[in-house]
């Protein structure tokens, strides 16, 4: 397949690119700065999102687009300026992908668009699957719902479209490293009361589900990219402690986190139980369905 990827140089994009190249696909990484990268036999860097670039001229006979572009949620306190970056980076990139499809001589067969479990809002009692169609009522839920609506325009072009709702991705980069640091300093413990759900997933299964969405014609609409065994924060912390052979004992008080992080504290103090019903029903087999082996793989 000939596959264009936005956000291809990020954490998830790098892992996905490596996997797709290993499987023999040809990749076109859409970037604002193609001059900073060197093409290889199977990876080509294509300029976009600047007036001087015309990516449609370099993307002939494209089979699929994977849109992973978006500002990192963990980059600093959520000021109004940062919230605008989080929102605009996702919406503008998705709109640009739709416009690119319209300019292509023939659109790709598939669009796989990033999304997030933030769509569901937060809850300590509900369990969410892809059958949950009403978004939550907080900042991330509003952003994610709009993000998906913009991606859905691809269906009007006859493009099979799926939006992958990522949970907390565990890997050598990202959220896990911030979660692990207190334990390495012998200061790990519950975040808040520890009762909030964390819908986690190993980076290898993130890539696995992205490839699954690309290659399985039955995948369309929302797809939860989470392991089938969400954990409460207190249980995740204890498992990290066990894997690292460190204590789990010093809690991080909710009030202190709210003061330090502001609205961004919702990422760590609130959560949701998200179950990957569609992936399991369609036959995806998780490499890491359980937390402890996933952490062992990453941390040891």
Rounded distance, CA 44 to CA 30, Å?
9
Res 250: pLDDT: 94
Partners of residue 26 on adjacent β-strands: 2
Largest Cα separation within the chain, whole Å, is 60
Rounded distance, CA 220 to CA 32, Å?
29
Res 77: pLDDT: 85
Q: What is the DSSP letter of 121?
A: -
Res 235: pLDDT: 98
Res 4: pLDDT: 98
Residues of the chain short of pLDDT 70, as ranges, are none
Res 164: pLDDT: 98
Nearest in space to 178 (alpha carbons), one of 264, 87, 114, 81: 264
Res 31: pLDDT: 95
User: What total of structural domains would you count in the chain?
Assistant: 1
Q: What is the pTM for the complete model shown? A: 0.96
Count of other CB atoms within 10 angstroms of residue 211: 18
Nearest in space to 164 (alpha carbons), one of 121, 205, 222: 222
Q: For residue 169, give the CATH number of its domain.
A: 3.40.50.720
109 exposure class (CB count in 10 Å sphere: 0-12, 13-18, 19+): middle
Domain range for 195: 2-299
Rounded distance, CA 175 to CA 186, Å?
18
Res 155: pLDDT: 97
For residue 139, what are its two tokens?
Answer: 């900042």
Residue 58's alpha-carbon distances to 30, 46, 65, 84, 98, in angstroms, are 11, 7, 14, 31, 16
Res 261: pLDDT: 84
Res 64: pLDDT: 98
């Amino acid at each position: 397949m000939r596959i264009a990827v936005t956000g291809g140089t990020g954490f998830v994009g790098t892992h996905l690119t490596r996997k797709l190249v290993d499987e023999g696909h040809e990749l076109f990484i859409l970037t604002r700065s193609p001059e900073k990268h060197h093409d290889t036999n199977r990876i080509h860097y294509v300029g976009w999102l600047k007036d001087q670039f015309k990516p449609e001229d370099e993307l002939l006979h494209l089979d699929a687009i994977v849109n992973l572009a978006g500002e990192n949620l963990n980059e600093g306190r959520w000021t109004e300026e940062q919230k605008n970056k989080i929102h605009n980076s996702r919406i503008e990139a998705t709109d640009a992908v739709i416009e690119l499809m319209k300019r292509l001589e023939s659109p790709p067969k598939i669009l796989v668009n990033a999304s997030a479990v933030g769509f569901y809002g937060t809850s300590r009692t509900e369990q969410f699957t892809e059958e949950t169609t009403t978004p939550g009522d907080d900042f991330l839920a509003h952003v994610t719902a709009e993000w998906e609506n913009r991606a859905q325009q691809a269906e009007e072009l006859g493009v099979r479209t799926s939006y992958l709702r990522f949970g907390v991705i565990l890997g050598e980069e990202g959220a896990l490293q911030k979660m692990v640091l207190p334990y390495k300093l012998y200061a790990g413990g519950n975040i808040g009361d520890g009762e909030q759900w964390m819908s986690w997933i190993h980076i290898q299964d993130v890539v696995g589900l992205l490839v699954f969405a690309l290659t399985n014609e039955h995948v369309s609409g929302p797809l939860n990219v989470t392991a089938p065994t969400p954990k409460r924060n207190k249980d995740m912390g204890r498992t990290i402690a066990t894997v690292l052979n460190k204590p789990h004992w010093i809690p991080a008080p909710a009030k202190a986190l709210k003061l330090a992080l502001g609205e961004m504290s919702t990422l760590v103090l609130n959560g949701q139980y998200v179950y990957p019903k569609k992936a399991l029903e369609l036959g995806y087999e998780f490499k890491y369905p359980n937390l402890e082996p996933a952490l062992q793989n990453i941390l040891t």
